[in-house]
Structure 1
Protein backbone atom coordinates (compact mmCIF):
# COMPACT_ATOMS: atom_id res chain seq x y z
CA UNK A 1 0.00 0.00 0.00
CA UNK A 2 1.31 3.47 -0.74
CA UNK A 3 2.07 5.53 2.36
CA UNK A 4 3.32 9.05 2.98
CA UNK A 5 5.99 9.48 5.62
CA UNK A 6 7.04 12.75 7.21
CA UNK A 7 10.74 13.34 7.63
CA UNK A 8 12.49 15.60 10.14
CA UNK A 9 12.70 18.43 7.58
CA UNK A 10 8.92 18.19 7.07
CA UNK A 11 9.41 16.90 3.55
CA UNK A 12 7.16 14.05 2.50
CA UNK A 13 8.10 10.88 0.69
CA UNK A 14 5.75 8.30 -0.81
CA UNK A 15 6.64 4.62 -0.81
CA UNK A 16 4.81 1.46 -1.79
CA UNK A 17 5.24 -0.99 1.07
CA UNK A 18 4.34 -4.57 1.77
CA UNK A 19 4.15 -4.84 5.57
CA UNK A 20 5.79 -7.74 7.30
CA UNK A 21 5.76 -7.11 11.06
CA UNK A 22 5.65 -4.52 13.83
CA UNK A 23 8.20 -4.33 16.63
CA UNK A 24 10.25 -2.18 19.02
CA UNK A 25 9.41 0.47 21.60
CA UNK A 26 8.50 3.07 18.97
CA UNK A 27 6.39 0.69 16.84
CA UNK A 28 8.32 0.13 13.66
CA UNK A 29 6.80 -1.29 10.51
CA UNK A 30 9.29 -3.58 8.78
CA UNK A 31 8.29 -3.76 5.14
CA UNK A 32 9.48 -4.53 1.64
CA UNK A 33 9.72 -1.16 -0.13
CA UNK A 34 8.98 -1.21 -3.85
CA UNK A 35 10.67 2.17 -4.35
CA UNK A 36 13.99 1.15 -2.73
CA UNK A 37 13.66 -2.53 -3.70
CA UNK A 38 14.83 -3.45 -0.22
CA UNK A 39 13.62 -3.91 3.33
CA UNK A 40 12.98 -0.72 5.28
CA UNK A 41 11.83 0.13 8.80
CA UNK A 42 9.24 2.88 9.17
CA UNK A 43 8.19 4.50 12.45
CA UNK A 44 4.40 4.38 12.69
CA UNK A 45 4.25 7.80 14.36
CA UNK A 46 5.81 9.29 11.22
CA UNK A 47 3.37 7.77 8.73
CA UNK A 48 0.91 10.52 7.84
CA UNK A 49 -1.37 8.65 5.45
CA UNK A 50 -1.96 5.60 3.32
CA UNK A 51 -3.86 4.61 0.21
CA UNK A 52 -5.14 1.12 -0.48
CA UNK A 53 -4.26 -0.09 -3.98
CA UNK A 54 -6.35 -3.26 -4.00
CA UNK A 55 -3.22 -5.25 -4.82
CA UNK A 56 -2.23 -8.31 -2.81
CA UNK A 57 1.31 -9.08 -1.73
CA UNK A 58 2.71 -12.12 -3.48
CA UNK A 59 5.83 -13.16 -1.58
CA UNK A 60 8.86 -13.69 -3.77
CA UNK A 61 12.27 -15.01 -2.81
CA UNK A 62 14.22 -12.24 -1.12
CA UNK A 63 11.10 -10.28 -0.07
CA UNK A 64 9.79 -12.43 2.79
CA UNK A 65 10.23 -11.78 6.50
CA UNK A 66 12.53 -14.79 6.83
CA UNK A 67 14.71 -13.17 4.12
CA UNK A 68 14.82 -9.99 6.20
CA UNK A 69 15.84 -11.95 9.29
CA UNK A 70 18.56 -13.74 7.33
CA UNK A 71 20.13 -10.34 6.52
CA UNK A 72 20.48 -9.37 10.19
Structure 2
Protein backbone atom coordinates (compact mmCIF):
# COMPACT_ATOMS: atom_id res chain seq x y z
CA UNK A 1 0.00 0.00 0.00
CA UNK A 2 2.80 2.42 0.90
CA UNK A 3 4.45 2.01 -2.50
CA UNK A 4 1.15 2.68 -4.27
CA UNK A 5 0.71 5.84 -2.17
CA UNK A 6 4.27 6.99 -2.93
CA UNK A 7 3.72 6.60 -6.67
CA UNK A 8 0.44 8.51 -6.47
CA UNK A 9 2.16 11.33 -4.59
CA UNK A 10 5.00 11.51 -7.15
CA UNK A 11 2.46 11.80 -9.97
CA UNK A 12 0.29 14.33 -8.07
CA UNK A 13 -2.73 12.05 -8.41
CA UNK A 14 -6.00 12.57 -6.60
CA UNK A 15 -7.14 9.36 -4.92
CA UNK A 16 -10.34 7.81 -3.66
CA UNK A 17 -9.62 5.75 -0.57
CA UNK A 18 -11.67 3.45 1.63
CA UNK A 19 -10.62 4.04 5.23
CA UNK A 20 -11.37 2.64 8.68
CA UNK A 21 -11.86 5.57 11.06
CA UNK A 22 -11.00 5.57 14.78
CA UNK A 23 -14.59 4.64 15.65
CA UNK A 24 -14.30 1.61 13.30
CA UNK A 25 -16.67 3.11 10.74
CA UNK A 26 -15.69 2.70 7.11
CA UNK A 27 -15.56 5.88 5.07
CA UNK A 28 -14.77 6.80 1.49
CA UNK A 29 -12.56 9.86 1.06
CA UNK A 30 -11.17 11.78 -1.90
CA UNK A 31 -7.66 12.97 -1.08
CA UNK A 32 -4.52 14.56 -2.47
CA UNK A 33 -1.38 13.41 -0.70
CA UNK A 34 0.89 16.00 0.90
CA UNK A 35 3.39 13.95 2.89
CA UNK A 36 4.15 10.34 3.77
CA UNK A 37 6.03 9.77 7.02
CA UNK A 38 6.34 6.43 8.71
CA UNK A 39 2.95 4.77 9.06
CA UNK A 40 0.99 7.98 8.48
CA UNK A 41 0.09 10.08 5.47
CA UNK A 42 -0.94 13.71 5.48
CA UNK A 43 -3.39 14.66 2.77
CA UNK A 44 -5.91 17.27 1.79
CA UNK A 45 -9.32 15.62 2.15
CA UNK A 46 -11.82 16.93 -0.40
CA UNK A 47 -14.61 15.23 1.55
CA UNK A 48 -13.87 17.19 4.75
CA UNK A 49 -12.31 20.24 3.01
CA UNK A 50 -9.28 20.13 5.32
CA UNK A 51 -5.88 18.58 5.86
CA UNK A 52 -6.15 15.19 7.52
CA UNK A 53 -3.78 12.51 8.76
CA UNK A 54 -4.43 8.88 7.84
CA UNK A 55 -2.88 5.71 9.22
CA UNK A 56 -1.57 3.66 6.28
CA UNK A 57 -2.70 0.35 7.82
CA UNK A 58 -6.28 1.68 8.03
CA UNK A 59 -6.45 2.40 4.29
CA UNK A 60 -8.31 -0.56 2.81
CA UNK A 61 -8.35 0.46 -0.87
CA UNK A 62 -6.84 3.11 -3.13
CA UNK A 63 -8.18 4.14 -6.53
CA UNK A 64 -6.76 6.96 -8.66
CA UNK A 65 -9.39 9.48 -9.75
CA UNK A 66 -9.46 9.91 -13.51
CA UNK A 67 -9.53 13.30 -15.20
CA UNK A 68 -13.26 13.20 -16.05
CA UNK A 69 -14.22 12.55 -12.42
CA UNK A 70 -12.02 15.45 -11.31
CA UNK A 71 -13.69 17.79 -13.80
CA UNK A 72 -17.13 16.79 -12.51
CA UNK A 73 -16.05 17.58 -8.95
CA UNK A 74 -14.90 21.12 -9.79
Q: TM-score range, shorter-chain basis?
A: 0.5 to 0.7
More strand by share: 2
More helix by share: 2
Query: Which portions of structure 1, spanning 4 or more consecutive aligned residues, are displaced by more than 4 angstroms?
Result: none
Q: Deviations along 1:6-64, whole A, 9 cap, x unmatched?
A: 1344321011000011114xx11100000111000000000000111124xxxxxxxxx
Rounded to whole Å, the distance in 1 between the matches of 2:45 and 2:21 is 16
Q: Give the gaps of 5 or more residues in structure 2.
A: 1-14, 68-74
Q: Structure 2 length as normaliser, TM-score?
A: 0.63
Q: Structure 1 length as normaliser, TM-score?
A: 0.65
Aligned to 1:11: 25
In structure 2, do the counterparts of structure 1 residues 37 and 8 end up closer, same or farther at CA, with 3 Å as the change threshold? Answer: closer
Which entry has the higher C-alpha Rg, 1 or 2?
1
Q: Give the gaps of 5 or more residues in structure 1.
A: 56-72
